[in-house]
Amino acid sequence: MHYRKRNFDFGVLMLSIFMLFACGQDTSLSLQAGSMSGAQLAEAKGCTACHTHTAESTIGPGWVLPWGEQRLFSDGTSMLVDEAYLRMSMLEPALKVVQGYENIMLPAELTETEMALLVAFIRELSSPQQEQVQ
Ligand code: HEC
């Protein structure tokens, strides 16, 4: 009797260890799926067809932006470059067209997580340190 009971406990223990291991694997898998960098996301969403990660203009303005300064638009108005401005530029590009560029960007289809990642990425590229260097 004693022998049998111990055997059963051993089985439960092994099963618990196996389940812990399986759960651990699941977590690391989902972390990997969510760990796309801002640069990778910009590539995957097709943004890099028109935007560079430098101040260099191509079809669209380069993503090193004059952070905290006024941006001029073709309708003669201006806005401060901040996170709210970046969100607006991505969701409603036609609302404010940067001076010197065509109104050709389509509204970006992004989840809130993707939006936050791209805003953080462009903000990092536009950090005041890089502005001082220029
Ligand atoms: C077909 C080319 C094209 C694609 C693709 C494109 N953009 Fe643009 N984007 C532009 C142009 C041109 C402008 C400037 C005119 C304007 O303000 O709409 C612009 C402006 C912007 C601005 C404002 C920049 C500034 O200098 O003030 C942001 C931010 C931006 N785009 C983000 C994105 C993101 C994020 C994506 C991908 C999801 C993307 N764009 C995809 C062409 C594009």
User: The pTM is what?
Assistant: 0.78
Alpha helices in 2-92 (DSSP H): 2-33, 38-44, 83-91
Residue ranges of domains in the chain: 1-35, 36-133
Q: What is the pLDDT of residues 79-121, one digit of tens each?
A: 999 999 999 999 999 999 999 999 999 999 999 999 999 999 9
* Pocket lining: 104 vs ligand 1, CB cutoff 6 Å: yes
* Pocket lining: 98 vs ligand 1, CB cutoff 6 Å: yes
**Cβ contacts of 112-116, under 8 Å, gap ≥ 24:** 113/34, 114/41, 114/45, 115/87, 115/90
Task: Give the Å distance between the CA of 64 and the centre of ligand 1.
Answer: 12
* Radius of gyration from C-alpha coordinates of the chain: 25
Nearest CA to ligand 1 atom 7: 105
Nearest CA to ligand 1 atom 21: 89
Task: Quote the CATH superfamily of domain 36-133.
Answer: Cytochrome c-like domain (1.10.760.10)
Termini Cα distance of the chain: 81
Higher pLDDT residue, 84 or 130? 84
